[in-house]
Amino acid sequence: MLQIINESKKGRTDLAQRFPENPLLLPKDLAPSASGLQIISLLNPGVFRYGGETWLLVRVAEGAVQKEGVLFFPVLNATGNTEIIEVPLNDPDLIATDARVINYKGLDYLTTISHLRLLSSDDGVHFTEPEGYPSLFGHGYLERFGIEDCRVSQIGDTYYLTYTAVSNNGVGVGMQTTKDWQHFESGGMILPPHNKDCAMFEEKIGGKYYCLHRPSSKEIGGNYIWLAESPDGLHWGNHQCLIKTRPGLWDSARVGAGATPIRTEYGWLEIYHGANAEHQYCLGAFLMDIDDPSKIISRTTEPIMVPTGVYELSGFFGYVVFTNGHIVDGDRLTMYYGAADEFVCGAHFSISEILSKLS
């Protein structure tokens, strides 16, 4: 299961040099956060450097231990503890056709609930949980279904955490900041539903903070990448629509920003995910003007990474490569990504090679 499919079957345009050690993390590698829960997926890590090591802030998606004929799913109660809801599988009020979401009595729930866990490594390949660093769990009524897919951006000595906050009220962007990964300050929900995939730039431009984000509009519009600016990193305005889905292409149904934009001599380079109507997730890239990121200079037509590894094609939700974390070292981009919504993997890219694919 762990070997990579024959090179000849790789997408023509795939630029990723996958780690031979992939997957780096499997659900069985960590212990569940409470009894009665099982880890279903380890995925979509935020990535940063701290104390000379590479760190992952991994999304840990947990489900309830299941029994035959009954569906159990978790939610956080008002005191922040996980509560298990139990529904007979033959209940006519239950719609469970997607592995990720269910609808019960007309209300939406997730099949898993996610928290964020810190792991560190001195070689960027072997990650373990260090002692003395807290896990981050959803808090309050806006995070009742958990927190997911955290981007980590460092400005000065402050790390900005922007993550998906999920509840029965909708899916929005939550923020926390930290300087030492032990004490966290909550910025609350910075972008209300429906919004996710928020990545902050790691420097101010013209004295302002900038971020990419992905509001969704059901009736008119779609799942597009937007840009926002802020005087303080907390209050966001002057929203502008940057990158849209493209009919007939691999990113026809949704697009969303990956990790923090990468400064290059040609502009800000952003790696993003795109999905088609079949929920197949690939990665592409676009370039923004260095002084005015609302100006798009170029975008890849073909994806730069396509699910090809066995661990990318099948898992909790197959045919998915999804990234929201990387480390930059000169021309070398070390990207960590979620494969098939179940595993954490790594890949190297050459930044100049990505730039050469932009048109």
Residue numbers at the binding site for ligand MAN (CB under 6 A): 100-101, 110, 148, 164, 166, 171
CB nearer ligand MAN, residue 100 or residue 126: 100
**Is there a contact between 214 and 253 (Cβ–Cβ < 8 Å)?**
no
* Cβ atoms < 10 Å from Cβ of 311: 21
CB nearer ligand MAN, residue 73 or residue 209: 73
> Any idea what DSSP says for residue 128?
B
**ω into residue 23 within 30 of 0, thus cis?**
yes
Nearest distance, CB of residue 189 and ligand MAN, angstroms: 14
CB nearer ligand MAN, residue 76 or residue 166: 166
CB-based contacts of 67, cutoff 8 Å, min separation 6: none
CA-based nearest residue to 136, from 108, 178, 170, 101: 178
Residue nearest to ligand MAN (CB): 100
CB nearer ligand MAN, residue 102 or residue 287: 102
**Is there a contact between 161 and 151 (Cβ–Cβ < 8 Å)?**
yes
**ω into residue 194 within 30 of 0, thus cis?**
yes
Nearest distance, CB of residue 99 and ligand MAN, angstroms: 9
Nearest distance, CB of residue 321 and ligand MAN, angstroms: 14
Nearest distance, CB of residue 83 and ligand MAN, angstroms: 18
5-20 burial: b if 16+ Cβ within 10 Å, else e: eeeeebbebbbbebbe
CB nearer ligand MAN, residue 41 or residue 334: 41
CB nearer ligand MAN, residue 100 or residue 332: 100
The tokens describing 33, both together, are 């956060």
Q: Please identify which residue in the block is written with the tokens 């694919």.
A: 357
Question: CA 302 to CA 319: how far, in whole Å?
Answer: 17
Nearest distance, CB of residue 44 and ligand MAN, angstroms: 9
Nearest distance, CB of residue 56 and ligand MAN, angstroms: 18
